[in-house]
Chains A and B, each alone.
Chain A
Amino acid sequence: MIIAERKPLPELMEMLAGVERLLIVGCRGCVAVCSAGGDKEVSVLATALRLGRKLAGANIEIDEDTYVRQCDPEYLEPLKTRGKDYDAVLSMACGVGVNFIADRCPGVNVLPALNTTFYGANLSSGEWAEMCAGCGACILHLTGGLCPVARCAKSLSNGPCGGSVGGRCEINPDVPCIWHQICEKLTGRKQDKLLRKIMPIRDWRPAGHGGPRRRVREDLLP
Chain B
Amino acid sequence: MSTDRTKIVGFCCHYTVRVSEDALQMAGLLPAGVRFEHVPCTGRVEVPALLAAFEQGADAVFVVGCEEGSCHNLSGSQQAAKRVVQARAILKEFNVRPERIEMFFVTRGETEPVVAAAREMSERAGRLGPLYGEQAKVVEEVQ
Contacts and interface: CB of A to CB of B under 8 A. Distances in A.
A220 interface: no
Interface string A85-96: 000000000000
Given A9-B90, A43-B46, A54-B132, A48 B96 contact: no
Nearest to A10: B93
A54 to B, nearest CB: 6
For chain A, what secondary structure do more than half of its interface residues adopt (helix, strand, loop), or is it mixed?
helix
B90 A55 contact: no
A47 B47 contact: yes
B93 A8 contact: yes
Interface residues of B, number: 15
Contacts of A48: 51, 90, 93-94
Interface string A10-27: 100000000000000000
Leading 7 A-B pairs by shortest Cβ distance: A47-B48, A9-B93, A47-B51, A51-B55, A44-B47, A43-B48, A48-B90
Contact of B55 (A10, A44, A54): A54
Interface of B: 46-48, 51-52, 54-55, 86, 90, 93-94, 96, 131-132, 135
Contacts of A57: 132
B48 A46 contact: yes
Given A43-B46, A43-B48, A51 B54 contact: yes
Contacts of A46: 48
A55 B96 contact: yes
Interface in A70-110: none
Given A48-B90, A55-B131, 15 more contacts: A9-B94, A44-B86, A48-B51, A48-B94, A50-B51, A50-B55, A51-B51, A51-B52, A51-B55, A52-B94, A54-B55, A54-B132, A55-B135, A56-B135, A57-B132
